[in-house]
Every structure is written in C-alpha cells, then in structure tokens.
Amino acid sequence: MNAMRFQKENTGTAPVTVKKALVLISQGGYKRIGKMIEDSFAENNCELVFDYFNGECSTNEINRLLKVVKDNGCDLTIGIGGGKIFDTAKAVAHYAGTQVFICPTIASTDAPCSALSVIYTDEGVFEKYLFLPANPNLVMMDTEIIAKSPVRLTVAGMGDALATYFEANTLLFGIGFESAGLAGAHAIHNGLTVLEECHHMYHGEKVAFGTLAQLVLENVPHEELEEIIMWCIEVGLPVTLEELGAGNVTDEQLMEVAKAASAEGDTLQNMPFTVTPESVFAAIKAADAYGRYYLGEE
C-alpha cells in the first residue's frame, strides 16, 4: 500500500489518500506507546509528524499546531490521549481542512465523539466553546490500552457520565449531550477553572461536584441527593471543595466561580428556571456542606 486510504461511510465518495499525518500526543504518551504507533504505520507510506501537546486546548496551542500542519503539508490530524488533546486535534483539523482521527488511551470524558472543542486560556481558565461542523471522521479505541489506564481517570469519566445523565437524560453520554444539551454541572465546572487551586483536578472530577451543585439548584428530594453523594464517595469522586483542592478559598473567590458559571452563553442558561450568580454561589456552598456532612467531617 503506497499510502493510507480510507472512505467515509455512506457517502459514496472516492477513498481519501493520506500521505502525511500530524500525530498529537503527550510526551509521556509517546514514551508509552510511540513505538506501537510507528510500527502500526510500518506497512504503508503515510509519514508521521509527531508533536507533543502543551497541556491546554488554547488558541495559542491551536495556532501553533496549525502552523505545524501547514509547514509539513499534513493532510490528516490524529489525536491520541485524552480530552484536551482531542479537542485540540479537532480544532486544528477544522481550521486546516484535514480529516481528524481520535484515538483515546483513557475513558475519562465525552470528548472523543463530539463536534465540539472546549477552548481554555493558556493558564487553563475556560474561555469558550468552538462548535464544529462535523464529528470526528474516526474514533478508534484499543481496549487493552484503555484497561491499563489509571483508575482515577476512569472514575473521572464516570463523573462526566453522571453529570450528563442529569443534564440531558441521555442514552449515551459520549454523544447524548450534543442531542439534548448540557446544563448546570458543566457550567459550574467551567466556573471552577477560574480557581488555580482546582487546575490539577480532572474534568470529570470537577463536573461531578458541579452535578451536586446542580441538584441543589434544582431542589431535588433529599433522598436523591444523598444517593448521588454516597455513590460519588463510593467510587472516589470529590464531593467537597477541599477534595477539589479549594478548601481554603474565600467567599469572594467562590462568587467569581459563580459569576463565570453564570456567564451569558454558557450552559447554565439551559436550566428550566432563572439562575443567578447568587443562587449558584449558594448551591456551591450547600453542595460542599452536604459533602462534608456525608464524609463525616461535620
């Protein structure tokens, strides 16, 4: 085979020939599976251009990689790793006009299938959603690699799935949020990104706490809230600000979180009632208090 060829299903179009691919991967990911990737391309003439992900799906990172794609004449973008790598690869492919392949090494977010990139600042603060015209051309998972991923990342994926269950009553959280929309949990996650204290936490972990705050906002029955909190504790998801690394933040800082979560255009506007920064602030404080109570801290 002279080059890698693939054909989009049900389009009736001719196969697309790919001669050079940008492979976006973390430095640690390359150390673990770089040789496996290279060996998998050994029998064709599709050249690989590896580039290490800088850690944030930011405008600067997207522009940097867009230049790599153009300078090297890549006609395919491949994202290998986790959610922010996928969102970056999807955005780069969109702007470069290439196909995009997504290869998860962890099951931690709903990013692989979506026609969406979440854009952050270089410092990791939520900036905006980039809605894309199409879903990835291919999502390929190696279950053996997924099974070897850190348990904490799989648990974080459970947190992301939990949130989407309440936000959209979805069938499959990986694609369901695009059909039914997100709501409070993800908006509160976005608000939490303004706290540097939370930057070390995974997306699904912050979203799980956001789910508790959303349930408080909805004034769900106590039994339902208790069930979800106890489930989070059982699987290892954070239920307090302390567990998010933000146990010492001030009320002023939490109000900034609430204001960011309530920003116009974010998904808190999808709640079926009016939400204000003040009500979000109160819900975060209440969710934290509930979490501390069920952990036996008060």
Hey, which residues are catalytic here?
160, 186, 189, 203
Rounded-to-integer distance, Cα 90 and Cα 97, Å: 10
Q: What would the DSSP string read from start to end of 160-208?
A: HHHHHHHHH--S-HHHHHHHH---HHHHHHHHHTT-GGGTTS-HHHHHH
Q: Which residue has the tokens 């109570």?
A: 293
Q: What are the distances in angstroms from CA 152 to CA 106, 212, 235, 236?
A: 10, 19, 9, 8
- For tokens 């489930």, the residue is 231
The dihedral through the CA atoms of 259, 263, 267, 271 has a sign that is positive
